[in-house]
Each structure stands twice: as C-alpha cells, then as structure tokens.
Amino acid sequence: MTRFDPRDFGARADGRTKDTAAVQAAIDACSAAGGGTVPLTGGTFLTGTIRLKSGVELHVDGSATLLASPDIADYAENVHHNRYRNEPELDRCLIYAEDARDVALTGRGRIVGAAESFPNEGSIYRPMMIRMLRCTNVHVTDLRLLDAAAWTTAFLDSEYIWVRGVCIINDKRYNGDGLDFDGCAHVFVSDCYVRGTDDNLCLQASSRDWPVHDVHITNCEFTGVCAGLRFGLKSIGDIYNVTVSNCTLNRVWREGIKLESTEGGSITDIAFSNIVMRDVTRPVFAILNNRFEPDDLGSSVELDHMPEIGALARISISGLIATDDDEMANVHRRFTDDVMGEPRFNGIRFDAADGHPIEDVTLRDVRYTFIGGVKLADIPPLEDYPRLVDKLAEPDVKSSENYWPDWSRAAFMDLRNVHRLDMTGVRLRALRPDERPAVLLDGCETVDEPEYRVLG
C-alpha cells in the first residue's frame, strides 16, 4: 500500500512545532493518489484541525502521539456543528471528515486532546477530538484517545462503522463523551474501554432522514459520571435494531442504561444481554415523553416545535447483574458541585406520559443489590410524585421530567405506564433497610403475574 510520510512534507514531530500543514499535505497527496497510509511514527505531531479524505488510513504508530494544539485559532470553523441546542462552543474539532469513503484511524499510538488548555470556565470554545459527517466504511481501531477538550468522537449521518480495541479516557472536562453516533447505521463496537464525565456511548437521532439502526455493541467496559449507554434524548428520528451484550459498567454515578424517546421519534427493538454493573446509581432508566424546551441544552438544534409523543417499545433486558458497594451510600458529584447521584435517586425506572405507554418490555434474570438506607422522611410523600404528561395536550401542567424529580418512589423498581410487561426471575436485595416500597407497578399491564423476589 502506498505510504505518504508527513516528514516528507516538512513535519518535525518534536511536540513543539505545529505540523498541521505537513500532516494535511500528506493526507491530501495520499487521497489524490487513490488512497493509502499516512504513518505517524517516532515522535509527537502537534496539530490543529486536520481533514481525513477518502481512501486514507491515518496510522498512529505505537511510537507516536498526535497532540492537539492548545490554541483555538488552530481549529477550523467549517467543520459542521454540535447538534445540541445552545452548545455552539463545541463546534470545532481536531480530526474531521466529510462525505468520505474508506477512511481509517488506526495504530497503537495515542491521540491526545488539549483538555488542560480549555477549562470548563473561561474558554468559549472546546474542540471535540473526532467528528465524521456523512462518511461510509469507517474504521477506528486499537488507538488510545485521551483527554479531549469536549466529546471524544461524533459520527454523524454515517454508515458502516467499525470501532474496535479503542481505549478512551476523557475525564478532565465537562461534555466528556466517549463514542457518539447520531444518524448512523450498521455500527460495530467491540472490545473498547471508555471512561469519561458524560455519556460513554450514545446513540442519537437528530433527523427523520437518518434513522439509527443495526448497531452492535459487545465486550466493552464503561465507567463514567453521567451515563454508560444512552440511547435517545435527541430522538427526532428513529432508533431500532440494537444489540448490547457482554459488557461491564463500573462506577457510573447516574444511569447505566438510559433510553429516552423525547422528540417524536421511536426507540424500538433493543436487546441487552449479559450486562454486569457495579456501583451504578440507576441501573436502567427509560422514559417516553415530549421534552421540547427552546432554551434547554437537551433539545436538538433541528427541533423547533413541540412534537407529538413517539414510541418506546420492544425492549428486552436479560441477564443483568447490578451490585452496590458501600461507596453507593455517598452523594456523588461531577467535579465540585454538580450532583449526579445519591441513594434516593436509584433503581430501575420506566416512565411514560399518561396515554402513551411504553410497550412490550421484558425484564428477565435480573439481580439487583442496592445500598438502600432511604427513609420516607428523606423524600416527599409518595402521592406527591408528579405524573408525566403530554405537553401538547396539557402545556400548563407541571410535569415530571427526565431528571426531575431527583428521587425514586421505590427502593428497586418504579415502573409506570408500561404495557405488556414480562418480568420473570427478578431478585432484589438491599444492603441497608429502606422504607420505600420495594417495587411499584403503576398503570402497568403485565403478560403474566410479575415474578420477583425481595431477598433478606
């Protein structure tokens, strides 16, 4: 395969001289020649934004580091945009590809962001590490992706994506996402380790034109502050045909599995199997509503009106083990003051707006050991728990929301408005006495008699 060494285009690889132009020249020459490899070897290549092109494999050798510039002026402005409303400060990025085919980021080396140079406060822009828009046949393998200033990756409206053997550590700044796929199809993620301050792996659908489907996630480890596996929130379009298997989640201070159909699309045909969690505040959280807030960070840039409520259906969770250690008796924060979780904000929760039930849910062979210790005096009266409403039908009603109330009515499982619920082989245990009901099935219709046991 043809190789185009950036040193032949003037790269110094000394970690001080900016090698952006030289690396870009090698990529451009490689693509113009019909494709090949651009190897980074034996040093530290300091760059701003570089653009991958069709047919190019950027190979970061184990002897090399691709280091992000600490100067925001080195990052291009025409690299698409972050699709969360009111977060334009995340629009720039280090590595960008648009309308490219057969691109790859490979090697056993490191790509290191400039997190220390872009603090949570005091800097307008914080560049993402990798963003790919409308790309096909993408491979990201074996790399260490470290210390991004914002998200580590954003794959947008792309298909046929393989991410294998990648180590992501992004725990120094807010918005420390790991792997984000928006509008993507035919996605294969395996054998990865992800640690961060936000969503470890996220599937989103910002457009009806680009549904998310045929996604396979296996043999991965996730640890982080906000969510291990998050599907939705940005859910204008549909998300379906997703399998997650043989994964572990450790020390996740909010939700382990989070499903949020909130913007009119549907999330359906999702299967989780053989998932083991330790010290995860809320092992499973699923919600169906319409959550349009014009000034809220959680809404899509592309959404400009209150949508009709979509669908959340055919969800299977089997072989789930979630275990708390004594650590989970504490309040957990992101950085200094951003509370993420505490014992009263716990449990397996399904919630849907009245008249729009979540449908066809299977919970089978679940083992949940919760720290417990919550007293009724620590939470408002159970009857004061607000219902979830259709905001089109009842726009003025104060409603339950995705992250409010910040307390759970039940010690283990609070399921509301779930139809055709199949719950078998569920075993629940509290390490400390908890005064709340163990399980609440509110407005639920079950396939058979729910089968669960609270162990002493």
pLDDT, tens digit (0-9, with 9 covering 90-100), for 415-424:
999 999 999 9
pLDDT value at residue 395 = 87
Six-digit token pair at 113?
């962001």
For residue 122, the model assigns a pLDDT of 66
pLDDT at 294 over 80: no
Average pLDDT score over residue span 223-231: 95
**Domain count within the chain:** 1
Q: What is the pLDDT of residue 275?
A: 98
pLDDT-derived band at 299 (thresholds 50, 70, 90) equals confident
276 part of a folded domain: yes
Q: Is residue 224 part of a domain?
A: yes
59, part of any domain: no
Give residue 284's domain range.
198-455
Mean pLDDT of 18-44: 98
- pTM beyond cutoff 0.85: yes
Is residue 320 predicted with pLDDT exceeding 90? yes
Is residue 335 very low, low, confident or very high in pLDDT (cuts 50, 70, 90)? confident
If 0-12 CB within 10 Å is exposed, 13-18 middle and 19+ buried, where does residue 90 land? buried
More confident: 164 or 395: 164
Residue 16 lies in a domain: no
Burial of 266 by CB count in 10 Å (0-12 exposed, 13-18 middle, 19+ buried)? buried
306 C-beta neighbours (distance < 10 Å), count: 17
- For the segment 286-296, the average pLDDT, to the nearest whole number, is 84
In a domain? residue 52: no
CB count, 10 Å around CB of 100?
Answer: 22
pLDDT of residue 30: 98
Cα separation, 274 vs 321, whole angstroms? 8
Which pLDDT value is given to residue 298? 60
Dump the DSSP string for 91-131.
--EEEEEES-EEEEEESSSEEE--GGGS-SSS-S---EEEE
Quick check: is 20 in a domain? no
Beta strand extents in 199-304 (DSSP E only)? 199-205, 212-218, 221-224, 227-235, 239-261, 266-288
Per-residue pLDDT at 111 exceeds 80: yes
Q: How high is the pLDDT of residue 297?
A: 57
Taking the C-alpha atoms of residue 151 and residue 163, their distance in angstroms, rounded to an integer, is 16
Q: Please give the mean pLDDT across all residues of the chain.
A: 95
Q: What token pair was written down for 79? A: 């690299």
Domain membership of residue 145 (yes or no) is no
Residue 115: predicted pLDDT: 95
pLDDT of the residue at 147: 98
Q: Is residue 275 part of a domain?
A: yes
pLDDT at 1 > cutoff 80: no
- Percentage above 90 pLDDT, the chain: 88
pLDDT at 295: 66
- Answer yes or no: is pLDDT of 410 > 60: yes
pLDDT digits (tens, 9 = 90+) for 351-372: 999 999 999 999 999 999 999 9
pLDDT for residue 15 is more than 80: yes
CA distance 377 to 379: 6
- According to DSSP, residue 263 is labeled S
